[in-house]
Structure 1
Amino acid sequence: MSVIQLETEDRLEYNFFPNSSGFLQFRVRAGNDAHLALTTAAAESDPMYEVFIGGWGNSKSIIRKNRTKPEVAEVPTPGILNANEFRGFWIRWQNGTISVGRENEVPPFMSWTDYEQIPIEYVGVCTGWGANGSWVIEPPRGGGGGGGFGYPSAPSNLTAPSRMSSVCWAPGRGGAVPPRAFTGGEDNGEPIYVVRAQLNGGLIPGKLVPSHGVCYVPWGGQENAVAEYEVLCDFPGQWIACSGGNIPPNALTAGQSEDGEPLYVGRVVHDGALTVGKVQPGHGVCYIPYGGQELSFPDYEILVQ
């Protein structure tokens, strides 16, 4: 499929095209209310997600499911659209998480995880509430690696699907462990599972201790408890010794920092526990969340595919 260029009138009627890649990058010129639908068919029907950029007089943006209120995500975005110039954006949907970001920015400005995963096959665009729109939409790229329009190579808080194609991250919350979850360590005889969670603009690998009802991720010098997370499942990988920033080429890319640096899964033995954390190559260490702190270790094991 080639680049799509189209004009949308002020009529809130979606124009649909196929896209099951998990990623959409586009530019739009509109004064307000650039609306996008993520659907299972080329029509407005449940289940569906909608992303409104520059709604309510170009003052805020939202994510909505099945056309119902309240919105599942809402952020202030004053002036995000412009009737006289194109503004670039990207949307990614993967493992139930929908992320929306601006051109040339890696962290999303809005995201939400749905624990009912819907297979998206089509994307629709429209404008309304007094706005017409001009759209330039890039074709799907077998896994959405980014590229054109000046988008970063991994333009969201999720790693590129092309690098994660054989990896399953299942959503969970409240200590729930999905079937076939990957065990990465143990503490006092209780299994610790490999997870990742969104925190402060990053997607951070960490540990799930089910009896605690939360996962923990290391960030900002602290052990951060997060109620909602993704658990690594059906993974045939292994652990190998590693040190510093010498990341093996087959290491599992599990997330990225708020600055867009890839993050990997590491583990160390500390205080009698085999604890899972994140490897940040630029810092040359593995960080683990433990005892309320973010602890760093230059020698660790790293998870590889």
Structure 2
Amino acid sequence: MLHKLQTEDKLEYNFFPNSTGFVQFRIKAANDAHIALSPAAAEVDPMYEVYIGGWGNSKSIIRKNRTKPEVAEEPTPGILNPNEFRGFWIRWQNRTISVGRENEIPPFLSWTDYEDVNIEYIGVCTGWGASGSWLIEPPRGGPVPSPGQPRPTRSASACWVPASGGQVPPSSFAGGEDNGEPVYVVRAQFGGGLIPGKLVPSHGQCYVPWGGTENPSPEYEVLGSPARAATSPPNALTAGQSEDGEPLYIGRVVHDGALTVGKVQPSHGVCYIPYGGQELSFPDYEILVQ
């Protein structure tokens, strides 16, 4: 259920628990939508702040510990609007904070810290002459697997952890999101191949694209080592192989408002995703690299 919130022109944060590493929200304000990423439900050190549409709706910044200078800054004239909702996402993972617009993969603001800060709460507020209406997606995630889970398998720097039934092992790689819920990179045996796909934890199973359809599988392996997404294929992570032995890679695309993980088959020149019961192909995509 969405968090619906009105914030006054007070610069006083309203905090919500969120330790998933991702938040998606929509905001209607003239300027200065402020978001705090904090270890506690309060303004503490260390913590981060993201200002969207600050300085008269002319630029956006990332700030650490409420001090200047800003650690990241980008001109964003007119990014907010007092008469319509504008959507954004913020991701914090591997000490990197990224800020992007709704339905856009590349962030418009990003910064990597030397310090590993354990973010447990987000806070929102408005100020500097602006009030705001917020629609904040609730945090979602999957259960932590029980002790005695099978040992992970490794390939180069990748770590594939066996799991089932919607389980999300610790340190799993979230390659996308769907309605605010993290979507994890997985692979599963299907059709005689080892096929990369996606895991939506609340569904209790993974999905792989194969044979023109979206195929569910209750058992899978989750990518569990740090990795990053890029728009070019150097050092692409080999995640599986087709039934003919062709290497398959992990790709992702934005479709129908969701950032969805799938497979890249080089001989086909596209990324396939499992979505809405179908296997969909996209010629433009991001590919996971080591």
Q: Tell me the TM-score normalised to structure 2 length.
A: 0.59
Instruction: Give the equivalent residue in structure 2 for 1:168.
Output: 225
| Aligned amino acid, residue 129 of structure 2 | G
Tell me the CA shift for residue 166 of structure 1: 5.0
Aligned positions of 1:144-293 closer than 5 A? 146-148=177-179, 166-169=223-226, 196=228, 202=230, 206=234, 253=250, 283=269
Tell me the CA shift for residue 96 of structure 1: 1.1
Tell me the CA shift for residue 146 of structure 1: 2.9
Instruction: Give the equivalent residue in structure 1 for 2:47.
Output: 48
| In structure 1, distance between residues paired with 2:268 and 2:63 | 37
Say whether the 8 Å CA contact 2:241–2:247 is kept in structure 1: no
| In structure 2, distance between residues paired with 1:98 and 1:90 | 11
Instruction: Give the equivalent residue in structure 2 for 1:75.
Output: 74
- Deviation readout 1:260-284 (Å, 9 max, x if unpaired): 79698xxxxxxxxxxxxx9867637
| In structure 2, distance between residues paired with 1:284 and 1:24 | 29
Cα distance, 1:127–1:152 mapped onto 2, change above 3 Å = same
Instruction: Give the equivalent residue in structure 2 for 1:110.
Output: 109
Tell me the CA shift for residue 203 of structure 1: 5.8
Tell me the CA shift for residue 137 of structure 1: 0.6
| In structure 2, distance between residues paired with 1:32 and 1:160 | 37
| In structure 2, distance between residues paired with 1:88 and 1:245 | 42
| In structure 1, distance between residues paired with 2:18 and 2:27 | 18
| Aligned amino acid, residue 147 of structure 1 | D
Cα distance, 1:108–1:280 mapped onto 2, change above 3 Å = farther
Q: Tell me the TM-score normalised to structure 1 length.
A: 0.56
Matched residue of 2:100: which SS? strand
Instruction: Give the equivalent residue in structure 2 for 1:127.
Output: 126
| In structure 1, distance between residues paired with 2:16 and 2:103 | 24
Tell me the CA shift for residue 113 of structure 1: 1.4
Instruction: Give the equivalent residue in structure 1 for 2:35.
Output: 36
Instruction: Give the equivalent residue in structure 1 for 2:98.
Output: 99
| In structure 2, distance between residues paired with 1:141 and 1:22 | 10
Say whether the 8 Å CA contact 1:205–1:263 is kept in structure 2: no
Which blocks of at least 5 consecutive residues in structure 1 are unaligned? 170-194, 208-217, 219-231, 233-237, 265-277, 286-301
| Aligned amino acid, residue 118 of structure 2 | P
Tell me the CA shift for residue 239 of structure 1: 7.8
| In structure 1, distance between residues paired with 2:244 and 2:49 | 43
- Deviation readout 1:227-271 (Å, 9 max, x if unpaired): xxxxx9xxxxx98667999565xx6x4x7589979698xxxxxxx
What is the aligned-residue RMSD (CA, Å)?
4.1
| Aligned amino acid, residue 136 of structure 1 | L
Tell me the CA shift for residue 147 of structure 1: 2.8
Tell me the CA shift for residue 115 of structure 1: 2.5
Cα distance, 1:97–1:280 mapped onto 2, change above 3 Å = farther
Matched residue of 2:177: which SS? coil
* Matched-pair identity in %: 59
Say whether the 8 Å CA contact 1:245–1:283 is kept in structure 2: no
- Deviation readout 1:107-139 (Å, 9 max, x if unpaired): 111111113111110000000110001101111
| In structure 2, distance between residues paired with 1:64 and 1:94 | 16
| In structure 1, distance between residues paired with 2:127 and 2:245 | 50
Which blocks of at least 5 consecutive residues in structure 2 are unaligned? 143-173, 185-197, 207-220, 272-287
* Count of residue pairs the alignment pairs up: 207
Matched residue of 1:146: which SS? strand
| In structure 2, distance between residues paired with 1:49 and 1:280 | 40
Q: Verify: 1:6 aligned to 2:32, yes or no.
A: no
| In structure 1, distance between residues paired with 2:267 and 2:54 | 39
